[in-house]
Amino acid sequence: MTKTVFITGATAGIGAAAARKFAGEGWQVVGTGRRRDRLDELATELGDFFYPLALDMLRPADFETTLASLPDRYRAIDLLLNNAGLAPPMSNLQDAEQDPLDVAIDTNVTGLVALTRALLPGLIARKGAVINLASVAATYPYRGGAVYAGTKAFVRQFSLGLRCDLAGTGVRVTTIDPGMVETEFTLVRTGGDQAASDALYANMDPMTAEDIAGTIWWVATLPPHLNINALELMPVNQSWAGFAVHRNEG
């Protein structure tokens, strides 16, 4: 029986790679995002396996109507991949603008919760699965990333709590915590600064979107009695810098 995955943020990076991977393996993919042109391009590329669904995570009030517009054959969702997300510009909180912080919180937290809630009845009926994209930032803090890290720590703890709520339903819940993956993530975070993005990933062999898509595929296709709670991965060339110590003058 053909399975269906619902992927948020399928217009770029990890979501687009996951859409290609799952469609290539014979799953039906509902791919969402705001950029309609990108969704249409994927639909052309993946044909019958892909249904493009324009959906803005910042507009949870629209979710019910948008989901109701899905054609019958894409309604039975087996896997929700909560991947859409972004980071506000790197900035100490004391220097940050509030609006970009709100966008990150509303996208990464509020939208993710609302969409999960909307799709849970069907996932429970099908003994499906939820895979949430968090980040290593949820565990390891760095300067200028407090709000992004906070949203991802929410995602991880939300996933664990959701497992409790879903006990006995057969629904699996996993968080994937990647380190550096070269996608449009840094381009978005820097407001379109390609040179900054290139410099960040230069000469360090970052993970690719395909690396993460392959991991998501592995998690999704494990035997149904097995739940990976959380999975953290990094490029070999990324590790930790240790504590920062501020010394008083004099």
Between CA 53 and CA 211 the distance in angstroms is 25
Q: How many residues does the chain have?
A: 250
Q: Is 74 assigned a catalytic role? A: no
Binding residue (CB under 6 A) for ligand NAP from 89, 113, 124, 184: 184
- Interaction between residue 12 and ligand NAP (CB under 6 A): yes
Q: Which of 74, 140, 148, 201 is catalytic?
A: 148
Binding residue (CB under 6 A) for ligand NAP from 19, 77, 123, 181: 181
- Interaction between residue 85 and ligand NAP (CB under 6 A): yes
Binding residue (CB under 6 A) for ligand NAP from 183, 215, 216, 220: 183
Contacts with 123 (C-beta within 8 Å, 6 or more apart), sequence order: 77, 78, 80, 129, 130, 171
- Interaction between residue 117 and ligand NAP (CB under 6 A): no
- Interaction between residue 132 and ligand NAP (CB under 6 A): no
Between CA 173 and CA 160 the distance in angstroms is 8
Asked if residues 59 and 35 have their Cβ atoms less than 8 Å apart, the reply is no
- Give whichever of 30 and 55 is closer to ligand NAP, judged by the CB atom: 55
Catalogue the active-site residues.
148
Residues at the site binding ligand NAP, with contacts judged by CB under 6 A: 8-15, 33-35, 38, 55-58, 83-86, 107, 133, 135, 178, 180-181, 183-185, 188, 209
